[in-house]
């Protein structure tokens, strides 16, 4: 199965199903209706959590970034303008929270390495001596896939998760990332190539792990 053919479903982390954008609800929340805002949070809590879990690889981190995203959403919703653009706008907020977290995490890692006097391993990914695929349980496959995604650059990771698991269109991805649509497509294909190399290092293929 090709990556694009399998992009409509997930394994262990849910699917790319998204709540529809209720423009009236968004409009009401933008004018200060707290009940409407609470309804938006209920609708988008799980999609945002799944998105940020794929990016960070940690449930605690994902929960924290969801909360930060909702705080920013509350602060900025009145500036949205076109309620129909709410979905990529919200993911842009979540992406900014992820990027802040990622930069902070990298700084902390560099400080720890400097204190320890030696570099930390880049990853605990298995290599050619990985166990046979038949021995891997579903949880193991999810873990290996998450580890592989974690080896991608942040730019590759963001576009891959937005397209594959969150189901955004390329115009929406371009808006969320603030880049041209063709650049979004290029980054997606780059992420596929990078993942293929990582899977090969694990002695696995897209068919083995791809959702």
- Output phi, psi for 152, to 5 deg: -75, 160
* Residue 180, both tokens: 């041209």
The whole-number pLDDT of residue 187 equals 95
Residues 114 and 44 in one domain: yes
Task: Quote the pLDDT of residue 70.
Answer: 97
Shared domain for 134 and 44, answered yes or no, is no
For residues 150, 163, 156, 116, the Cα torsion angle rounded to the nearest 10 degrees is: -20
In this structure, are 146 and 93 located in the same domain?
Answer: no
Residues 140 and 162 both lie in one domain: yes
Q: What is the CATH number of the domain that holds 28?
A: 1.10.1740.10
Distances, alpha carbon 89 to alpha carbons 80, 86, 178, in Å: 8, 5, 10
- Note if the pTM is more than 0.75: no
The predicted pLDDT at position 1 comes to 42
- When divided into structural domains, the chain yields a total of 2
Rounded Cα distance, 72 and 37, in Å:
12
Cβ–Cβ under 8 Å, residues 198 and 148: yes
Dist. CA 189–CA 2, nearest whole Å: 12
Q: What is the number of other CB atoms lying within 10 angstroms of the CB of residue 52?
A: 26
- pLDDT at residue 39, rounded to an integer: 95
Walk along the chain (211 residues) and give the pLDDT tens digit of each residue.
Answer: 445 444 443 333 334 446 677 889 999 999 999 999 999 999 999 999 999 999 998 999 999 999 999 999 999 999 998 899 999 999 999 999 999 998 887 766 655 555 565 444 444 444 444 454 444 566 677 788 888 898 999 999 999 999 998 999 999 999 999 999 999 999 999 999 999 999 888 787 777 666 6
What pLDDT score was predicted for residue 91?
96
Task: Return the CATH number at 152.
Answer: 1.10.10.10
Contact call for residues 81 and 110 (beta carbons, < 8 A): no
Q: Are residues 61 and 113 in the same domain?
A: yes
Instruction: Tell me the residue range of the domain where 143 lies.
Output: 130-211
Question: Which residues make Cβ contacts (< 8 Å) with residue 123, sequence separation at least 6?
Answer: 147, 150, 151
Closest by CA to 85, choosing from 2, 145, 144, 27, is: 27
Whether residues 98 and 134 share a domain: the answer is no
Q: Are 116 and 139 in a shared domain?
A: no
| 63 and 23, same domain (yes or no) | yes
25, 113: one domain: yes
How high is the pLDDT of residue 103? Answer: 86
Answer yes or no: is 8 within a domain.
no
pLDDT at 79: 93
Say if 195 falls within a structural domain.
Answer: yes
């Amino acid at each position: 199965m090709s990556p694009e053919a399998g992009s409509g479903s997930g394994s262990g982390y849910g699917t790319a199903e998204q709540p529809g954008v209720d423009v009236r609800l968004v409009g009401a929340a933008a004018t200060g209706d707290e009940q409407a805002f609470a309804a938006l949070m209920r609708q988008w809590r799980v999609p945002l959590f799944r998105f940020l879990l794929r990016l960070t690889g940690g449930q605690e981190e994902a929960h924290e970034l969801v909360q930060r995203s909702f705080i920013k959403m509350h602060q900025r919703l009145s500036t949205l303008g076109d309620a129909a653009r709410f979905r990529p706008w919200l993911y842009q907020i979540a992406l900014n929270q992820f990027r802040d977290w990622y930069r902070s995490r990298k700084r902390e890692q560099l400080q720890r390495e400097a204190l320890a006097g030696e570099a930390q391993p880049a990853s605990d990914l298995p290599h050619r001596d990985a166990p046979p695929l038949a021995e891997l349980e579903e949880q193991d496959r999810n873990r290996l896939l998450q580890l592989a995604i974690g080896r991608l650059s942040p730019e590759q990771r963001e576009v891959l998760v937005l397209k594959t698991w969150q189901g955004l269109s390329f115009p929406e991805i371009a808006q969320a990332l603030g880049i041209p649509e063709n650049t979004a497509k290029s980054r997606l294909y780059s992420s596929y190539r990078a993942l293929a190399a990582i899977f090969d290092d694990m002695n696995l293929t897209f068919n083995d792990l791809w959702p």
